């Protein structure tokens, strides 16, 4: 196994994990649940980490670099269930009819 990414933000790590899985790259997230329970360890020792098989590491790094470059860490766009408008992922409600994003709350 080889570590390909680490970040303090579990949201980003979780997003990258999902993207890697979409690319059929099996990965393991370490320290997923340790943030906040660091105790006396240096904080960077308990950041979430993404590990992949060594064979997959070059491709995984490529995918991760692409995701970070494109800003795909923001939520995906969604379609308003009420009026059918396409809404950018960072908006929590439809710009057209103020319907909350599905799955929120
Ligand atoms: Zn709408």
Buried b (16+ CB within 10 A) or exposed e, 70-85: eeeeebeebebeeeee
Q: What distance in angstroms lies between residue 77's CA and the mean position of ligand 1's atoms?
A: 13
Q: What is the CATH number of domain 2-70?
A: 3.30.70.790
Q: What distance in angstroms lies between residue 25's CA and the mean position of ligand 1's atoms?
A: 35
Residues 38 and 62: their CA atoms lie apart, in Å, by 30
* Spans of all domains in the chain: 2-70, 75-105
Reported pTM? 0.59
Q: Using one digit for the tens of pLDDT, what is the confidence trace for 28-77?
A: 999 887 655 555 655 566 889 999 999 999 999 999 998 888 765 567 78
Q: What distance in angstroms lies between residue 76's CA and the mean position of ligand 1's atoms?
A: 16
Question: For the residues 10-29, what does the mean pLDDT come to?
Answer: 93
Q: What distance in angstroms lies between residue 79's CA and the mean position of ligand 1's atoms?
A: 8
Q: Using one digit for the tens of pLDDT, what is the confidence trace for 81-104?
A: 999 999 988 888 999 999 999 864
Q: What distance in angstroms lies between residue 105's CA and the mean position of ligand 1's atoms?
A: 17
Residue in the block written with tokens 């950041």: 47
Residue 56: how many CB atoms within 10 A of its CB?
A: 20
Q: Are strands 27-30 and 49-52 parallel, antiparallel or unpaired?
A: antiparallel
Residue 60 sits at φ, ψ, to 5 deg, of: -60, -45
């Amino acid at each position: 196994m080889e570590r390909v990414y680490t970040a303090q933000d579990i949201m980003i790590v979780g997003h990258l994990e999902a993207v890697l899985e979409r690319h059929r790259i099996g990965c393991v997230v370490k320290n997923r649940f340790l943030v906040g329970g660091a105790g006396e360890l240096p904080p960077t020792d308990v950041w979430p980490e993404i590990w992949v098989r060594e064979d997959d590491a070059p491709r995984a790094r490529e995918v991760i670099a692409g995701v970070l470059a494109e800003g795909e860490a923001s939520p995906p766009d969604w379609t308003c269930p009420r009026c059918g408008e396409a809404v950018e992922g960072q908006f929590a409600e439809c710009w057209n009819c103020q319907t909350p994003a599905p799955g929120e709350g």
